[in-house]
Amino acid sequence: MSDLTQVEKYIRVIDLAKCIGCGSCEAVCEFLYGTPFIKVYRTSMGLDIPISCMHCRKAPCIEVCPTGAMIRDSTGAVYVIPSKCIGCLACLYACPFSIPELDHRSRAAIKCDLCRDLRNKALDPACVAICPTGALIYGFEKEVFTLAKLRTAESIAKARYELASWRT
Amino acid sequence: MRFTFICREKLSKAGSRVAIIGAGPAGLGAAGYLACRGYEVEVYDKLPLPGGLMVFAIPPWRISKDAVLNGAKELEESFGVKFILKTKVYLGNVVRRDEGDDFIEKIMPLDKLIDEYDAVIVATGTWESKLPKLPGVESRGVTTALAYLYKHRIYELGLTSRRPGDGERVIVIGGGHSAIDAAEQALNNGSYPYLVYRRTIKEAPAGVYEFMKAASAGINVIELASPMEIVAEGGIVKGVKFQRMKLGSLDETGRPKPIPIPGSEFFIEADAVIFATGEVATPPFNINEEGILNKLNIRVSKEGNIEVLKEGLSINQRVYVAGDVARGPSRIGPALGMGLQVARKVDYILQARAGKLALVAR
Ligand SMILES: Cc1cc2nc3c(=O)[nH]c(=O)nc-3n(C[C@H](O)[C@H](O)[C@H](O)COP(=O)(O)OP(=O)(O)OC[C@H]3O[C@@H](n4cnc5c(N)ncnc54)[C@H](O)[C@@H]3O)c2cc1C
C-alpha cells in the first residue's frame, strides 16, 4: 500500500537543546496507556534522550505491514489498528528507530499514535501538553519548522550578545 | 505545563472535595486529573506560589517558571482549583521547621483537613537537606543546595529584596542534579566555583555529560575527594579540608565505594560551602510521635519516606501519599506520574464509596 502524503500535516519534534530529561512526557504517557510510548533513556554519556515514534513521512513500518494494520491518519500520525494486526513485528524490523512493541494482551503491535483519542477531543498529545521546558513541539509542519529555526536564531543571538557584553 | 491534559473542561460536578497538600509536580498532576473528573479541588502550599521545586529551586535556564505558573493558573481559572497558599499543613505538638518555611502565615492542622474533605493527598516533597556530620558544619557560610537555589529563586520572583550574595569563592559538594545546579548558579553569579564529588563523574547521578558541560563552562570539577572538616575562624567559613578517595568494591547501591587515602588531605579556601548531599521527606506531621502515626496509620521508612498502609491509603481511607515525600528525591516525571496514579485511585475509591452510599439509600 502506498503512503502518499502531499498535504501539509501535523508534526511533533523533540528539541534536545531544551530537554532536561525530567521524564514528564514518559510519566503522562505511561499513565494514559499503561506503557510509555515516549521514554527517556539514560545514555552511557549520562545524557538523557527521549525516544518515541518519529511518524516518518515515508514510513517503512507502513510499507512493510502485510495486513494493512499500520496506517496513517489524516493528520499525519502513524498508528496501528489492533484488529488487523497479526503481531508479526515486521514493523519493528523495518523501523530504523526500533519503535514498535508487542502488547501481550491483544498480541498486536503497539506504538505512539500522538494521542489519537485526545486529539479527537481537540487536545494536544499529552507529552506535548505537559512538557515543562517546551522541548516537545507539535503543530503544522510549517509552524514547527519555523519555530525550530526561530529558536536557533535566538540561541545564536544570545551567544553573540554574551560575546559582545564580555568584550566590553 | 498543562496539568489538565486529559480534558478541555471540567466534568459535571462529582460532588466530592479533595484536599491536596503540596503544589509541586505530584500535587499539581493530581489536581489536574481530579479537576478534569469534576472534583472540587483545594491545594494547600506553604509557599506564596505553586510549583514546588520547579519554581523554588530549579534554575530558570532549565525550566521557565512561567510554564509551570501558567499551568497552575489554568487550573485555578478554568477548572476552579483553589490554591490556599502561605499555609503550612501540620499535625504534631510542635510544628517542625523545614526549609522554605519563610512565608507561612497560617498553620492548618492535618486532622482538620482529614475531617473536612473526602480525601487528602499528601505531596509535600523533600524540603529538608541532609548535612554531613563534620566538624565546623554549623559555621556561617555553610549552606545546602536547596537553600542556596531557593534564595535565588525568591529573589528573582520579587518575594524578597535581599540580593543573594555569597562571596567570591564557592565550593559545592555533591554529584547530583542539585550539585550541578548550585555550581551553575554560582558560576552565573560570577564566581568560578569548585564542584567536588567523592567518586568519579562516571558514577555521578547527574551523569558524565552534565559534569563535562560544567567543567567546560568554567567550574572546577574535582573527583575522588570528600570533605573532612569545614575550617572556620570566628564561626565564619574559611575553607574546606578534603581527603582524596579511591574506588573500592561495589556497595549496596551498586556503585564502587569511595575509600579514603590516608595522608592525602588538601585544603581549598572558600567563603561559601554548599552541600548538595541529598534531601529527606518532609511529611505534614511529626514522624516521631507514635500517637500520630497510629492515628493516620502511616509508617515511616528508614530513609524517612512515608509509607501508607494498604496500597497508598490509610486506615480511615482518606489520606494518600504521592511524589518525593513517598519515594524520596526523584525527578519531576516520576513525582508527576505518582500524583496522577494516586489521583486515579482516589477517583475510583470515592466513586465506589458514592455507589455504596447510593445502595444504602435505596
Ligand atoms: C536543586 C534541584 C534541582 C533539580 N533538578 C531537576 C531536574 O533538572 N530535573 C528533574 O526532573 N528533577 C529535578 N529535581 C527534582 C525534582 O524537582 C523533584 O523530584 C520534584 O519536584 C518532586 O516533586 P514533588 O511534587 O514530590 O515535590 P516538590 O516539588 O518539592 O513540591 C512539594 C510542595 O509541597 C509544599 N509543602 C511542603 N511541606 C508542606 C506543608 N507541611 N504544608 C504545605 N505545603 C507544604 C512545598 O512548598 C512544595 O511546593 C531537582 C531537585 C532539586 C532540589
Per-residue pLDDT, B202:
93
Q: Do A133 and B64 touch (CB under 8 A)?
A: yes
Strand, coil or helix: what is B317? coil
Strands B272-275, B170-173: pairing kind: parallel
Calpha distance B211→B205 (Å, rounded): 10
Please check whether residue A43 is in contact with residue A49, taking contact to mean a CB–CB distance below 8 angstroms.
yes
Q: Which three cell numbers stand for residue B322?
A: 504521592
Residues of A in contact with B209 (CB under 8 A): 45-47
Grid coordinates representing B49 are: 506560589
Q: First-to-last CA distance in chain A?
A: 62
Nearest-angstrom CA–CA distance, B204 and B346: 37
Retrieve residue B344's grid coordinates: 486515579
| Burial grade of B236 (CB within 10 A; 0-12, 13-18, 19 or more) | exposed
Provide the pairing of β-strand B279-280 with B170-173. unpaired
pLDDT attached to residue A114: 97
Please give, rounded to a whole number of angstroms, the shortest distance from the CA of A94 to a CA of chain B.
Answer: 31
Q: Where are the beta strands (DSSP E) in chain B?
A: 17-21, 40-44, 82-84, 87-90, 106-109, 119-122, 128-129, 142-144, 170-173, 194-196, 220-222, 225-233, 236-250, 256-260, 266-269, 272-275, 279-280, 298-300, 306-308, 319-321
pLDDT of residue A6: 64
Query: Cell 558544619 identifies what position?
Result: B137
Q: With beta carbons under 8 A apart, name residues in chain B contacting A130.
A: 1-3, 5, 336
**Domain covering A4-167: architecture:** 2-Layer Sandwich (3.30)
User: Which of B64, B101, B105, B331 has most ligand 1 atoms within 8 Å of its beta carbon, as the pocket-test mutant?
Assistant: B331
Q: In what order do the strands lie in the sheet with B319-321?
A: B82-84, B40-44, B17-21, B119-122, B319-321
Q: Are B332 and A118 a contacting pair at CB < 8 A?
A: no
The amino acid present at B7, given as its one-letter code, is C
- Per-residue pLDDT at B278: 92
Residue A153 exposed, middle or buried by CB count within 10 Å (0-12, 13-18, 19+):
exposed
- Dist CA B20 CA B319 (whole Å): 10
Cβ atoms B282, B325 nearer than 8 A: yes
- Local mean pLDDT, 10-residue blocks, chain B (362 residues): 94 86 98 96 98 97 96 96 98 91 96 93 95 95 96 95 82 96 94 95 93 95 97 96 95 89 96 95 87 77 68 63 92 97 92 66 42
Residue from A53, A57, A54, A55 nearest A5 by CA: A57
Chain A residues with CB under 8 Å of B184 CB are none
Rounded distance, CA B349 to CA B118, Å?
A: 10
By CA distance, what is A39's nearest residue in B? B333
- Per this entry, what is the length of chain B? 362
Alpha carbons B133 and B30: distance in angstroms, whole number: 37
* Three-state secondary structure call for residue B9: coil
What HEC string does chain A produce?
A: CCCCCCCCCEEEEECCCCCCCCCHHHHHHHHHHCCCCEEEEECCCCCEEEEECCCCCCCHHHHHCCCCCEEECCCCCEEECHHHCCCCCHHHHHCCCCCCEECCCCCCEECCCCCHHHHHCCCCCHHHHHCCCCCEEEEEHHHHHHHHHHHHHHHHHHHHHHHHHHHC
CB B44 within 8 A of CB B21: yes
Q: What's the gap in Å between the CA of B339 and the closest CA on chain A?
A: 10
Query: What is residue A9's predicted lDDT score, i.e. its pLDDT?
Result: 87
In this structure, are strands B266-269 and B236-250 parallel, antiparallel, or unpaired? Answer: antiparallel
* φ, ψ at B204 (rounded to 5°): -65, 135
Give the separation between CA B134 and CA B162, rounded to whole angstroms.
29
Asked if the Cβ–Cβ distance from B331 to A129 is below 8 Å, we say: no
All three cell numbers of B70: 501558567
Predicted ipTM?
0.92
Its pTM stands at 0.93
Is the Cβ pair A46, B5 closer than 8 Å? no
The arrangement of secondary structure in B132-275, i.e. its CATH architecture, is 3-Layer(bba) Sandwich (3.50)
Flag if B25 and A118 touch (Cβ within 8 Å). Answer: no
Domain B17-127+279-353 class in CATH: alpha beta
Burial of A69-82, coded b for 16+ CB within 10 Å and e otherwise, reads bbbbbeebbbbbee
Give the max Cα distance, chain A.
Answer: 67
What are the cell numbers at B153? Answer: 529563586
DSSP lists the bridge partners of residue B299 as: B307
Phi (first) and psi of residue A107, to 5 degrees: 55, 30
Q: Are A123 and B5 in contact (CB under 8 A)?
A: yes
Per-residue pLDDT of chain A (168 residues; tens, 9 = 90+): 455 556 778 999 999 999 999 999 999 999 999 999 999 999 998 899 999 999 999 999 999 999 999 999 999 999 999 999 999 999 999 999 999 999 999 999 999 999 999 999 999 999 999 999 999 999 999 999 999 999 999 989 988 887 777 665
A32 to chain B: nearest residue by CA? B6
Looking at residue B362, its pLDDT comes to 40
Give dist(CA B240, CA B237) in Å, integer.
Answer: 8
A11 vs B215: CA distance, rounded Å: 36
Contact A67, A85 (CB under 8 A): yes
Task: Provide φ and ψ at B269, rounded to 5°.
Answer: -75, 145
Q: How far is B24 from chain A (nearest CA, A)?
A: 12
Where in chain B do CATH 3.50.50.60 domains reside?
17-127+279-353, 132-275
Please list, residue by residue across B343-355, b when 16 or more beta carbons sit within 10 angstroms of its beta carbon and e when fewer do: bebbbebbeeeee
Which residues, numbered 35 to 94 in chain B, qualify as contacts with chain A under a Cβ-Cβ cut-off of 8 Å?
A: 54, 62-64, 67-68
- The answer to whether the CB of A60 falls within 8 A of the CB of A111 is no
